[in-house]
Amino acid sequence: MKRREFIRTSGILGAAPFISKEGLASPLSKSNMAGTPRIFVTGGSSDDTMMKYFMGLTGKKKPKICLLPTASADRDSRILRWFERANGLGFEPYVQRMFVSSYRQKVEFEPFLLSMDAIWVSGGNTLNLIAIWKAHGIDKILKKAWDQGIVLGGGSAGSICWFEQGSTDSRPVELSAMEALGFLKGSHCPHYYSEGPRRDSYHEMIMDGRLKDGYALDDRVGLLFERQELKKVVTSRKDGKGFYVSKVNGKIVEKELKAEVLANN
């Protein structure tokens, strides 16, 4: 299928607010998750190996996974890549846009999102993401999803959002501190080594009290939390690292988190 035809039939540029790989809205059904609240966060650039790990957390052979591309302003190119990725990895893809109208979307946010096996949040502007979610009540729906055992996850903006606080590039001029949803305790810094100013800026913000102690991750490094407890650290690259960064006796301390290298299969 040609790229233009795929976009037209899938509804990405059309009226469908959420679509399956075949381009048809699927009937809503209650997710039958095991019930343990889990969140999987990555430092960014989550490749197929990391996504396979996320898929596996659902316990489903072909899980229903919904993309929330709010941080990228529901960008069509990001949504298209989501469907292309699903085709290669074998999950059932859905998308929930936040830029909707009552003429186009005839199902409320809550029943749709709570019918998923997992929800993945894209990167982009974290500050805008939080503001839009709170305006629509998505933050409360995601809390219900988490409590019900629907697996939550994301990278960059999609990882910052779950913590109490984060280091963000969502404002002009420089990196800054922001308040997030608070499902997970502490603060978070993605792209720890891949983006030059991130590490030093995160240290400064913890040192002067703008941010709480927290987790810093390289790209393609992930943390699995069950409830608010860190259960596992994984990476799809041999040199990938994660850290717990804290202020101890007036100094910044980096504690490296031992990561399991995931098999690329």
Across the range 108-137, mean pLDDT stands at 98
Give the separation between CA 138 and CA 197, rounded to whole angstroms: 31
Residue 191 bears catalytic tag: yes
Q: Is 30 within 8 Å of 114 (Cβ atoms)?
A: yes
Which of the four pLDDT bands, split at 50, 70 and 90, describes residue 17?
A: very low
Q: Note whether residue 9 is domain-resident.
A: no
Q: Is 88 within 8 Å of 51 (Cβ atoms)?
A: no
Mean pLDDT of the chain, nearest integer: 89
Which of the four pLDDT bands, split at 50, 70 and 90, describes residue 33?
A: very low
Quote the number of domains for the chain. 1
Place of tokens 């490296």: 256
Residue 156 bears catalytic tag: yes
224: pLDDT strictly greater than 70: yes
pLDDT at 264: 78
11: pLDDT strictly greater than 50: no
| pLDDT per position as a tens digit, 160-189 | 999 999 999 999 999 999 999 999 999 999
Residue 86: closest CA among 22, 24, 21, 23: 21
Token digits of residue 168: 């963000």
Q: Note whether residue 93 is domain-resident.
A: yes
Q: From the candidates 191, 201, 203, 236, which is the catalytic residue?
A: 191
Q: Which domain holds residue 79?
A: 36-261
Q: Note whether residue 87 is domain-resident.
A: yes
Strand-strand pairing, 163-168 and 184-189: parallel
Q: Note whether residue 19 is domain-resident.
A: no
Q: Note whether residue 8 is domain-resident.
A: no
Q: Is 233 within 8 Å of 221 (Cβ atoms)?
A: yes
Query: For residue 79, what is the domain's CATH number?
Result: 3.40.50.880
Q: From the candidates 46, 156, 187, 201, which is the catalytic residue?
A: 156
pLDDT at 34: 53
The reported pTM is: 0.89
What is the number of other CB atoms lying within 10 angstroms of the CB of residue 248? 9
Q: How far is CA 42 from CA 61, 64, 79, 164, in A?
A: 22, 20, 19, 16
Q: Note whether residue 197 is domain-resident.
A: yes
Upper half-sphere CA count for residue 187 (Cβ side, 13 Å): 23
Element (H, E) at 22: none
Task: Sheet containing 163-168: give its strands across.
Answer: 176-179, 163-168, 184-189, 214-217, 242-248, 251-257
Give the separation between CA 76 and CA 96, rounded to whole angstroms: 12
